[in-house]
Amino acid sequence: MNNNDKISPAVIRRLPKYYRYLGELTKMGLNKTSSRELSEMTGFSASQIRQDLNNFGGFGQQGFGYDVENLRNEIARILGLDKKYKIIIIGAGNIGQAIANYTGFYEADYEVVALFDKNPKLIGMSMRNALIKDIDELEEFLNVENIDIAVICTPKSVSQQVAEQLVQCGIRAIWNFAPKDLKMPDYVHVENVHLNESLFSLTYYYNQMNKKKSE
């Protein structure tokens, strides 16, 4: 197996899709699949899929294909999905509440243990089993609880400050939904999620299709 630090980020971003479709095959009761079948499901070429998986050892046999359960378990291990993770959410507004209620967290082993906000009308409420706490309790909470991932759903104006506070308290993985790219040290991994960028890309392709129809 190659050194995972040298794996292209593009490969890593394709692995969750393979994992998801293998889960669908499992639910269908299928035991075997091939790169060609995965290609039809994912939209990636069969050769691309084989190249991606070969970065981690391949997992298939010529003439047999892939054992669905085994491949899904191996991808889960590569992604770290064979472990449990504790999550906190900073910002309990619409996006924060939607994330806290996302069933996909609980199907994989992610647990939202608390949300934090400054709105007194929200403090004390629960999202599933996670209590919304006062943001002023954040530092004390992190000194006691072992949290793996923090989700930022705050306004843009305070997102960087919140992120720096999280890092000072030991957080090393941040999922950022605030409309601002965070500037963090190299030892902190940040995934910036900008919903409007995805929507703008969709709008572009929608308009391209309309132009072709009108030609």
Closest CA to 155 of 88, 99, 90: 90
- Do the annotations mark residue 60 as ligand-binding? no
Largest CA distance in the chain: 63
- Do the annotations mark residue 174 as ligand-binding? no
- Quote the Cα angle for 98-152-87, to 5°: 75
Q: Supply 188's token pair.
A: 């902190």
Q: Residue 131 is inside which H or E element, if any?
A: strand 130-134
The separation between CA 213 and the C-alpha centre of its own chain, rounded to angstroms, equals: 36
- Do the annotations mark residue 49 as ligand-binding? no
Torsion of CA 37, 38, 40, 46, to 10 degrees: -90
- Quote the Cα angle for 161-12-192, to 5°: 20
- Do the annotations mark residue 93 as ligand-binding? yes
> Which residues are part of a known binding site for NAD(+)?
91-96
> Which residues are part of a known binding site?
91-96
